[in-house]
Amino acid sequence: GAGVSQSPSNKVTEKGKDVELRCDPISGHTALYWYRQSLGQGLEFLIYFQGNSAPDKSGLPSDRFSAERTGGSVSTLTIQRTQQEDSAVYLCASSSAPGPQPQHFGDGTRLSIL
């Protein structure tokens, strides 16, 4: 597609359930980022994929969070045993290369934990 696509756009689930969020980056983009935006807060870096290199997971808040990127394209962010504080908008971005290149964002998945 023309831009970064994220699904679902909204997700409501009960505390303790696992959730999977999907990101389809722009075709050919080698760099992919996941961020979290909580209400009234700035975006928070979660994880970064670059090509076939090992991902930078330094932003993941706990071991309940994990992410994969299959075939250098689609990425899935998984949150296990969700907690209410996980409620936020999860944004994905891709860029053609690391460094000072424009990052193209999807419109995010709004996750609400009941």
Partner 1 sequence: KNQVEQSPQSLIILEGKNCTLQCNYTVSPFSNLRWYKQDTGRGPVSLTIMTFSENTKSNGRYTATLDADTKQSSLHITASQLSDSASYICVVSGRAGGSYIPTFGRGTSLIVHP
Among positions 13, 20, 30, 43, the unique one binding partner 1 when judged by CB under 8 A:
43
Contact in structure between 94 and 4 (CB atoms under 8 Å): yes
Task: Rule CB under 8 A: say whether 108 interacts with partner 1.
Answer: yes
| Amino acid present at 42 | G
| Amino acid present at 30 | T
Task: Rule CB under 8 A: say whether 107 interacts with partner 1.
Answer: yes
- Minimum CB–partner distance for residue 99 and partner 1 (Å): 5
Taking CB under 8 A as the rule, which mask of x and - marks residues 77-106 in contact with partner 1? Answer: --------------x-x----xxxxxxxxx
What are the DSSP E strand ranges found in the chain? 5-7, 10-13, 19-24, 31-37, 43-50, 65-69, 75-79, 88-95, 104-105, 109-113
Task: Rule CB under 8 A: say whether 53 interacts with partner 1.
Answer: yes
Among positions 48, 65, 82, 111, the unique one binding partner 1 when judged by CB under 8 A:
48
In 3D space, the residue among 1, 63, 59, 3 whose CA is nearest the CA of residue 35 turns out to be 59
Among positions 19, 25, 29, 50, the unique one binding partner 1 when judged by CB under 8 A:
50
The encoded tokens of residue 85 equal 């504080």
Interaction site with partner 1 (CB under 8 A): 4, 33, 35, 40-45, 48, 50, 53, 56, 58-59, 91, 93, 98-108
